[in-house]
Structure 1
Amino acid sequence: MKIGFRTIKTAIGIALSIAIAKWLGLEFYTSAGIITILCIKTTKKQSYQTAWELFFGSLVGLGISAIVFEWIGYHTWTLTILLLLLIPMSVYLKISDGIVTSTVVILHLFILKKVNIDVIVNEILLLVLGVGMGILLNIYMPSLEKELRAYQRKIESNFKTILREFAAYLYEPERYWDGKEILETAQWLMEAKELAILDMENQDGPTARYFYHYFEMRERQFEILERIAPIVSALDRSCEQGEMIARFLENLADAVHPGNTAHLYLEELEKLREDLRNSLLPQTREEFETRAALFHFINEMRRYLIIKRNLLRDWEELINKKEKSVFAQLRWIRK
């Protein structure tokens, strides 16, 4: 067991909101702690959305309950009518997270058996205090860059292993490989993208967005690696291009990193394509199938490289535009 940052924030937030509500002399002051714990979410975006739903939903519940209680009376069955009205309305208004806190407000009025300005102000202050404390504590969210870089290293290491195993098969078809890196990479890519989304919702900076697009790029490349596995296994070791393909895969494995060197390997692939076009036509069915597999392999690897080239090129252009924009603003300020 370990105590996380969110747990610490929640414990502190509950204590602070209850203490302040009690110091202000508010009735049902412990409700401020309940509202705070509901507002503290995994990300800033989720917290802001929940805070809005809690606050607006509670105001709706306060208004409806004040009217219904004063009109029908403070009966137990009146609670049933209120909830039958409140829950569908909250769902329709897309403030479902506010159902819990609005129910708490309704129960406060039911216990007090009255609605006046003091009661309304008390409930609103509880809402403001609980929601405000939750938002305040979620202003700072730790960056997940360290964890994202760890995923990046692990995934790139597996990419290298997969490419080298493909090359090794072309040299030695009897070689055994359990393929565990393929299963690991699929799992890590899913986890890394989810983590990157959390970081984007917390930080909303270029680094967080970069990692999301980076893992999305690797996911698309991984799909290609899965597709070329049967192609590589179909290549005959005796074909003269087999060794060239193996060397290409080994070189490509050495170049698996965050940098942009895709253009170099695109040129090498184009040379391989030209060599195939200029070679003698296949004479047998086996030679024809091998030639088709080679062209298929080249086309898939070309897609593999273009995916990375386009992502990094677009990212570099975006960064350059932002830098130029900042530079232009600085020049304008100096003027």
Structure 2
Amino acid sequence: MKPINVQLTNKTILITGAAGFIGANLVLTLLSDNTIHTRLIGVDNMNDYYDVSIKEWRLKEIQTVAEKSTSSWTFIKGSIADKELINSIINTYHPDIVVNLAAQAGVRYSITNSDVYIESNLIGFYNILEACRHSYDNGEKRVEHLVYASSSSVYGANKKVPYSTDDKVDNPVSLYAATKKSNELLAHAYSKLYNIPSTGLRFFTVYGPAGRPDMAYFGFTNKLLKGEKIQIFNYGNCKRDFTYVDDIVEGVKRVMMGAPERRIGEDGLPVPPYAIYNIGNSQPENLLDFVQILSEELVRAEVLPEDYDFEAHKELVPMQPGDVPVTYADTSALERDFGFKPSTDLRTGIRRFAEWYKEFYRV
């Protein structure tokens, strides 16, 4: 186990993408923990890549919890691609910990809308790194730990499973994957040059209540409710390491408190205080089995009627460009260093999503 070397109590934490799926859940978790007293600063550009009302709902949930919390909450609407804004936030609030979860998500969307990936995932992340670098100029304190979202997509079409952080990841199959690999390389360079402790987290197929509508479980539900067919790629011969959002957040929280140690190498120069971890459930589910569980839980939650003909609404189709046949996380490093392994089973997670969906959309 790594020692806890970054305390959360009485710290200022900047969370980008704070109205996003993982970001909002992280904020809620930190605000709900009254054993810590933190100042949370959230940033999100509230873009319309998906239904903004879901982001607004998340922010309302945060505000409700914040009113009873021993920690404080400040929300700033803006983009991490806005260099002046990011510098202003760093110079105003002097965060001790930065958690960068802001990014343009989605593999397929990156094929048709490339510009936004360069703007958010590359320029935006560069702005975060630069702000961390200058956070201790002019005698100001430095950022203790930068934690940022990478993705399982960096493994590309790796044949070896489960995916290990020791594997080479030089063959991305989508622009999205390439930008996430670029984040890791940039973070490594800044860790080496400026001694900034940074940890990248490769998330595996995150799902749960109030998730992203572009994810399969959410999109399938929308289509089934409209009586449309759902397309199951690679003729159902795909496996995904579905990871429940609460497990992701618990992993992020633990990692925040365990920054890579700053130390000097034999050459007299800093050894990069840099780390990468997978956060996944380590139990890949076949897409057809996943659809079966989803259908059963949608019926149970009364989102769909008991006599719904699911077979008539399934269509098996070829693999999509940018997709991979399997994702499967080796989380042994996360378990070794933080004593944590995601454990929420798929049915439990899908059940919570179905119940949220019924309530949110008043089905």
Question: Where on the TM-score scale, by shorter chain, does this alignment land: which range?
Answer: under 0.3
| Higher relative helix content | 1
| Higher relative strand content | 2
Pair member with larger Rg: 1
TM-score (ref. length: structure 2): 0.21
